[in-house]
Structure 1
Amino acid sequence: MKKLILTATMIVMAVAMCQAKNPIKGNGNEKKDARTIENYTAISVADGIALNFSRDQLSGIVVSADENVCEYIVTEVIGGELVIRFKTGETVKPKKDVVVTVPNNGTVTALTVGANSKFNIKEEIVVEGMTLKLMGGAQVEMKLDARQTVQVEMIGNAKCELTGKAAEMKLVMEGGAKFNGYNFKTKNAACELAGSSDAKIQCNDRIDVADLTGNSTLYFKGDCEIGKVSLKGGSTLGNR
């Protein structure tokens, strides 16, 4: 029985190794795959896939990628969140940029960007409020017009550049994250930075800094009141 179990284990390992040695390589022929999708208010994107918002996209979504890669791109709604990723267990090496285009209709209020996904959303997104979560080297540029609060959470060398405006911003960063919001107008801002993170914000009413630790830097511009401030570990708070 032990030999049988060992043999079965070796077979599974061999199959896994074969799969690892045979990644799906893009053939360079671009395909646009239109997909029908159920309603969602949040989006999670990972695996280096880019996201685009377009007012020309009235419904559904469009996946743009190598024609032999499209079938390995998962787009499914789980608990109201559109999850965009490659199929589990597959190693995909596209030649063409993998871009998923969704409607720009103001219904998305939460966006999670996973490891190494990079995108620049050209159109302005108008929403009541938005929660952005970036991790693991994610890079995002976007323009927001938020009537209420924009909450930004960043870890692990993530980078984000926001333009536009919001009534309030809450910013939490750690692990060398970088945020540029000099052209993102807010009335009130609440910030927490750790682990050599770097942020630049514009604030025109009040700024509160709950924690600024681990050699982090926070620069702000605008005529705002400085509220609560906690600086530790060689961190810097300055007006520029």
Structure 2
Amino acid sequence: MKKAVIIIAIVVAVAAICTVLILKVWPGVLVGSGNLETEQYAFGNFTRVEISSAFVFEIGYSDSYGINVTVDDNVMDYVQVTQEGQTLKIRLRTVPFLRRVTLRASVAMPELSGVTVSGASVGTVSGFSSTEGLNITVSGASIIVEGDITAGDIGFDVSGASIVQLEGSADDMVAVVSGASTFNLDDFTVNNAVVNVSGASTGIINLDGRLDANVSGASTLLYIGDPVMGTINVSGASTLREK
């Protein structure tokens, strides 16, 4: 028992020393304080949102605009929330290395025309219903899940081992899925779809109109419904079939 206690004490001491050394050798390392701070921002009249830097986010419908960011208090100075035209941007200034930090963002808005998510960010997009077009771009191991959207024409660009899983509906869809990404729209119905799946990616779509598809690089595209097959190209040990 005494030996175990000594070993644990040594491990703790070594870990503490290593942490100190890391902070001295790489002064850019930022360790979250654990004391959370929330900042509200008064931007408005934006229809697009860009989020990066590994934020956990919620983008939801509201009659009014609202932006809240919650992070460790020693991280707040690194947060950048800006508006460029109709685009709201949430990210961090360049930080070499982060450890044990909390990064949360909540955005409420009445109209959504575009979402861009990158840098291992994870979140939801829900509550929007419109006949206007919507473009969603997800990259860099980012994730959008548990969203509920109704839109006119919709476009997706999913890359870099990212994941998209949404419910809802749209008129026509154009989707590009690449780089070992996952695209799950089995509960998202569309009329016509043009889909390009590549690089060991997987897609599931739900439609009853025309399907044009290019599936390559050991990828899989599954479809739900009874689509009319348009231009179809399947190559490189890939699969296109009904789910």
Alignment partner, residue 114 of structure 1: 118
What is the one-letter code of the residue matched to 1:104? M
Alignment partner, residue 14 of structure 1: none
Instruction: Say yes or no: does 1:187 pair with 2:191.
Output: yes
Is the Cα–Cα contact under 8 Å of residues 132 and 152 in structure 1 kept in the other structure?
yes
Give the Å deviation of 1:52.
1.2
Instruction: Say yes or no: does 1:154 pair with 2:158.
Output: yes
Instruction: Measure the CA separation in 2 of the matches of 1:80 and 1:156.
Output: 26
Instruction: Measure the CA separation in 1 of the matches of 2:84 and 2:62.
Output: 25
SS at match of 2:64: coil
Listed as ranges, the gaps of 5+ residues in structure 1 are 1-16
Percent sequence identity over aligned pairs: 24
Instruction: Measure the CA separation in 1 of the matches of 2:106 and 2:46.
Output: 14
Is the Cα–Cα contact under 8 Å of residues 149 and 167 in structure 2 kept in the other structure?
yes
Alignment partner, residue 144 of structure 2: 140
Instruction: Say yes or no: does 1:104 pair with 2:109.
Output: yes
Instruction: Measure the CA separation in 1 of the matches of 2:193 and 2:104.
Output: 32
Alignment partner, residue 226 of structure 2: 223
Is the Cα–Cα contact under 8 Å of residues 33 and 73 in structure 2 kept in the other structure?
yes
Match of 2:46 among 36, 40, 51: 40
Instruction: Measure the CA separation in 1 of the matches of 2:237 and 2:204.
Output: 17
Provide, for residues 153-211 of structure 1, a one-character-per-residue CA deviation record: whole Å limited to 9, x for no partner. Answer: 011111110111001111101111110000001111110111111100101122111x2
Instruction: Measure the CA separation in 1 of the matches of 2:217 and 2:60.
Output: 39
Instruction: Say yes or no: does 1:126 pair with 2:132.
Output: no
TM-score norm. by structure 1 comes to 0.84
Match of 2:175 among 171, 174, 193: 171
TM-score norm. by structure 2 comes to 0.83
Provide, for residues 201-222 of structure 1, a one-character-per-residue CA deviation record: whole Å limited to 9, x for no partner. Answer: 101122111x211111100011
SS at match of 2:149: strand
Give the Å deviation of 1:54.
3.7
Instruction: Say yes or no: does 1:86 pair with 2:92.
Output: yes
What is the one-letter code of the residue matched to 2:92? F
Alignment partner, residue 95 of structure 1: 101
Is the Cα–Cα contact under 8 Å of residues 65 and 94 in structure 1 kept in the other structure?
no
Give the Å deviation of 1:20.
3.6
SS at match of 1:71: helix
SS at match of 2:170: strand
Give the Å deviation of 1:66.
1.7
Instruction: Measure the CA separation in 2 of the matches of 1:185 and 1:24.
Output: 44
Instruction: Measure the CA separation in 2 of the matches of 1:18 and 1:151.
Output: 46
Q: CA RMSD in A?
A: 2.0
Is the Cα–Cα contact under 8 Å of residues 104 and 125 in structure 1 kept in the other structure?
no
Alignment partner, residue 237 of structure 2: 234
Instruction: Measure the CA separation in 2 of the matches of 1:78 and 1:93.
Output: 30
Match of 1:199 among 197, 203, 206: 203
Alignment partner, residue 28 of structure 1: 34
